[in-house]
């Protein structure tokens, strides 16, 4: 890829990480208007509609094989579970702690699940990283103050629970190799909306008349920016730049979320959250052997 185009893609990836970080702020605001399943319905209904022209633009086929569709259904169930705990944790807790804890725990839990499946092996290096990650999470929870009442609050449990379904989403979606990740994601959103409508939401009971400009700004940012735009750029980045180069951008998400939470929600950011986030990011880097700073060969 030409360097100018590459730099443009890096800028778009930064905006994508900003949108993902901002999604925690969006959900915190939306939690005052709707419940978790209404949020899932509105977010992914809008997102699925907005992805249709993008799929035509990228010339992606809407065809899906039976195996991939079965994986879509299972992934959608895991996505609903993730969104439920993500929403509840953010509603009752702080967006800053949630973004730091969940974002950094997801790759660690993914590694642990793959290790249980015997896809990954736990050696000394990974054991050290897992231990460091555990210390990081405990630091975020402020356990070193030994205040059990502060640690054992419901939102912390929700955040821990939210970090489990997303690795399942990642693993299941990676099993679908016959269709594009963008096509898979589109159908995942569609099936998620259908499941939520069938079992959890009565659309006619959603209080649309009570939604003000603040609500619509946040739901549209959540749908268009954090879902349609960010996911499309991320998948295109993987296809054109490679997973290794794109993966390092993920580390921006918790810090951007913490910064946005402080700006828009006026949350007080505890130093334990910052320190814990840094420790867990180092742990994730070691676990996945991610090169954040890549050495460049000198031209002769």
pLDDT tens sequence across 47-75: 999 999 999 998 999 999 999 999 999 99
Residue 208 pLDDT greater than 80, yes or no: yes
Q: How far apart are the first and last CA of the chain?
A: 21
pLDDT band at 293 (very low <50, low <70, confident <90, very high): very low
Residue 295 pLDDT greater than 50, yes or no: no
Per-residue pLDDT averaged across 178-203, rounded? 94
Q: Which two tokens stand for residue 217?
A: 């700004």
Question: Which residue, chain included where needed, has tokens 């054991």?
Answer: 127
Check residue 289 and give left, alpha or beta (phi > 0: left; psi -120 to 50: alpha). Answer: left
Instruction: Give the separation between CA 225 and CA 208, rounded to whole angstroms.
Output: 21
- By mean pLDDT, which of 21-30, 92-101, 117-126 is the weakest? 117-126
Please give the C-alpha separations between residue 36 and each of 84, 89, 107, 275, in angstroms, as whole numbers. Answer: 6, 10, 24, 30
What is the percent of the chain with per-residue pLDDT over 90, rounded to a whole number?
Answer: 48
Length of the chain: 300
Q: Which two tokens stand for residue 94?
A: 């702080």
Please report, to the nearest 10 degrees, the dihedral formed by the alpha carbons of residues 95, 101, 103, 109 taken in order: -150
Instruction: Give the separation between CA 36 and CA 159, rounded to whole angstroms.
Output: 14
Residue with more model confidence, 125 or 148: 125
Q: Are 57 and 228 in contact (CB under 8 A)?
A: no
Where helices occur in 117-242 by DSSP H, the ranges are: 124-140, 148-151, 154-162, 165-174, 181-199, 213-220, 230-241
Which residues have CB under 8 Å from 183's CB, separation 6+?
A: 55, 60, 61, 62, 64
Residue 129 pLDDT greater than 60, yes or no: yes
pLDDT score at 245: 64
Instruction: Give the separation between CA 236 and CA 99, rounded to whole angstroms.
Output: 24
Q: What is the mean pLDDT of the chain?
A: 86
Which residues have CB under 8 Å from 76's CB, separation 6+?
A: 188, 191, 192, 195
Instruction: Give the separation between CA 142 and CA 277, rounded to whole angstroms.
Output: 12
Q: Which two tokens stand for residue 110?
A: 């993914």
Residue 145 pLDDT greater than 90, yes or no: no
Instruction: Give the separation between CA 295 and CA 300, rounded to whole angstroms.
Output: 15
Going by C-alpha positions, the residue among 174, 4, 225, 158 that lies closest to residue 72 is 174
What is the percent of the chain with per-residue pLDDT over 70, rounded to a whole number?
Answer: 89
Q: Are 122 and 106 in contact (CB under 8 A)?
A: no
Residue 90 pLDDT greater than 50, yes or no: yes
Instruction: Give the separation between CA 181 and CA 168, rounded to whole angstroms.
Output: 15
């Amino acid at each position: 890829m030409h360097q100018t185009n590459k730099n443009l893609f890096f800028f778009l990836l930064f905006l994508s990480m900003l949108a993902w970080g901002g999604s925690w702020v969006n959900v915190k605001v939306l939690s005052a208007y709707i419940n978790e399943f209404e949020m899932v319905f509105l977010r992914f209904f809008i997102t699925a509609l907005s992805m249709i022209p993008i799929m035509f633009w990228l010339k992606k086929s809407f065809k899906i094989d039976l195996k991939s569709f079965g994986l879509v259904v299972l992934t959608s169930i895991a996505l609903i579970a993730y969104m439920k705990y993500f929403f509840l944790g953010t509603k009752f807790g702080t967006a800053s702690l949630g973004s730091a804890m969940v974002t950094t725990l997801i790759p660690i839990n993914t590694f642990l699940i793959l290790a249980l499946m015997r896809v990954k092996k736990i050696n000394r290096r990974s054991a050290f990283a897992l231990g460091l990650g555990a210390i990081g999470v405990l630091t975020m929870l402020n356990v070193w103050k030994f205040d059990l009442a502060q640690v054992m609050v419901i939102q912390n449990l929700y955040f821990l629970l939210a970090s489990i379904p997303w690795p399942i989403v990642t693993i299941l979606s990676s099993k679908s190799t016959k269709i594009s990740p963008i096509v898979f994601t589109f159908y995942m959103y569609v099936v998620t909306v259908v499941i939520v409508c069938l079992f959890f939401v009565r659309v006619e009971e959603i209080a649309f008349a009570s939604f003000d400009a603040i609500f619509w700004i946040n739901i549209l940012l959540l749908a268009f920016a954090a879902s349609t735009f960010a996911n499309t750029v991320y998948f295109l980045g993987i296809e054109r730049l490679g997973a290794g180069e794109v993966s390092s951008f993920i580390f921006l998400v918790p810090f951007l979320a913490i910064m946005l939470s402080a700006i828009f929600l006026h949350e007080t950011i505890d130093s334990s959250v910052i320190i814990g986030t840094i420790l867990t990011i180092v742990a994730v880097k070691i676990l996945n052997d991610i090169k954040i700073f890549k050495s460049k060969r000198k031209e002769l």
